[in-house]
């Protein structure tokens, strides 16, 4: 449950950055939490969205959204099965299963990846680089219904190093996505800022507002599939993230007029016939490749993860409509040939 509160800036608030003021006045628990709220479009100054570095003036009316306090007690470990691909004293690489939320929230106070990591490692053996006790081990996230490879960190040193590498675009994160429509060109890039949608605050959207954050996604077409009587054809693409915004690939591909097959939210240009979603109950999006430099040893590590059963079945259903794989498609499927399939 969330609620909107307000604060009127005092004379001694003059010139302070918005995120710093929100934390200093106790309106959010930390500056990082305040900055996230501003970036997510949950804070308004005199009725307008502004950047987190916006200088506050005396008399400014700041309206901000907060979650009702929840007192769940100490974060507890839960015996949730994990498909771990690599583990040492610094980090874990795992293939996240569909339906697993990364960390507790208002809607999911347990049964999350963090609960599973606490059970597996112990809370004392996980990093806390997000500044919040319910995000132990987390250095990046996947949506609940996006499957595939992701990182978790055990030490703060590893956590900070991995987060910095992600910010510096030194971590190679690639996703397989099946999108509606036959994309004519072999490569593409979507460079469009993302913010909270203006009217539906649980959605993200491409917007030109101060709270919008830069977002860049590139893609390569791997295989194209002919139009059918109930659809506009499909393209299997390999997406690479250069930033990590909430729902980034899903938002960007809708913006590019090629929403994901099975997409439940960002589907304004998807075919209306439910059959066009190929029986999928979630978006066709899978983190299939992850490559990075180990923060402690300096070793170059690379992992690949084959498609889970539901996405493979949807892709197989299009086999007789394939126009053939591109050169990039041959490369990716060669990589996946020996890659393990998700166990969960």
Residue 253 CA neighbour count, 13 Å, CB half: 38
Q: How far apart are CA 304 and CA 287, in angstroms?
A: 9
Q: Give the burial class of 208: count Cβ atoms within 10 A of its Cβ; 0-12 exposed, 13-18 middle, 19 or more buried.
A: exposed
Lookup: tokens for 78: 């839960």
Burial 104-125 (b: 16+ CB within 10 A, else e): beeeeeeebbbbbbbebbebee
The alpha-helical segments, DSSP class H, found in the chain are: 18-24, 31-39, 113-121, 156-167, 248-255, 309-316, 327-337
90 and 155 in contact (C-beta within 8 Å)?
Answer: yes
Q: Tokens 């700041």 sit at which residue?
A: 62
Lookup: tokens for 148: 């595939």
Q: Which member of 19, 90, 143, 277 is catalytic?
A: 143
Please name the residues in contact with 205: beta carbons below 8 A apart, sequence gap of 6 or more. Answer: 194, 195, 196, 197, 198, 251
Catalytic residue check, 156: no
Distance of CA 206 to the CA centre of its chain: 15
Which contacts qualify for 248-251: CB closer than 8 Å, 24 or more apart? 248/194, 248/215, 248/217, 249/175, 249/177, 249/217, 249/285, 250/143, 250/283, 250/285, 251/194, 251/204, 251/205, 251/206, 251/215
DSSP class of 257 = T
The catalytic site residues sit at: 143
């Amino acid at each position: 449950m969330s609620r909107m509160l307000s604060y009127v800036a005092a004379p001694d608030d003059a010139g302070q950055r918005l995120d710093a003021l929100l934390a200093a006045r106790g309106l959010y628990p930390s500056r990082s939490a305040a900055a996230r709220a501003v970036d997510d479009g949950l804070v308004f100054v005199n009725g307008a969205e502004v950047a987190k570095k916006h200088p506050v003036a005396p008399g400014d009316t700041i309206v901000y959204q907060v979650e009702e306090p929840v007192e769940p007690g100490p974060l507890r470990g839960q015996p949730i099965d994990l498909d771990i691909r690599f583990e040492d004293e610094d980090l874990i690489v795992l293939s996240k299963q569909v339906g697993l939320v990364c960390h507790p929230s208002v809607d999911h106070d347990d049964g999350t990846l963090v609960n599973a990591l606490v059970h597996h490692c112990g809370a004392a053996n996980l990093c806390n680089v997000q500044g919040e006790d319910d995000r132990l081990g987390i250095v990046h996230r996947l949506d609940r219904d996006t499957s595939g490879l992701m990182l978790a960190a055990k030490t703060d040193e590893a956590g900070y190093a991995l987060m910095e590498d992600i910010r510096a675009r030194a971590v190679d994160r690639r996703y397989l996505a099946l999108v509606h429509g036959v994309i004519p060109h072999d490569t593409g890039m979507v460079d469009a800022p993302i913010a909270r949608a203006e009217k539906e605050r649980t959605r993200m959207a491409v917007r030109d507002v101060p709270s919008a954050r830069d977002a860049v996604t590139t893609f390569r077409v791997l295989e194209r599939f002919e139009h059918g009587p109930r659809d506009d054809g499909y393209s299997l693409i390999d997406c690479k993230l250069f930033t990590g915004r909430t729902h980034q690939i899903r938002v960007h591909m809708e913006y590019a007029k090629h929403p994901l097959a099975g997409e439940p939210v960002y589907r304004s240009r998807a075919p209306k016939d439910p059959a066009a979603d190929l029986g999928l109950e979630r978006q066709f999006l899978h983190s299939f490749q992850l490559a990075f430099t180990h923060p402690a040893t300096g070793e170059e590590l690379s992992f690949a993860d084959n498609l889970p059963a539901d996405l493979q079945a949807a892709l197989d259903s299009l086999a007789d409509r394939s126009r053939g794989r591109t050169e990039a498609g041959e490369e990716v499927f060669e990589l996946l040939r020996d890659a393990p399939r998700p166990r969960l």
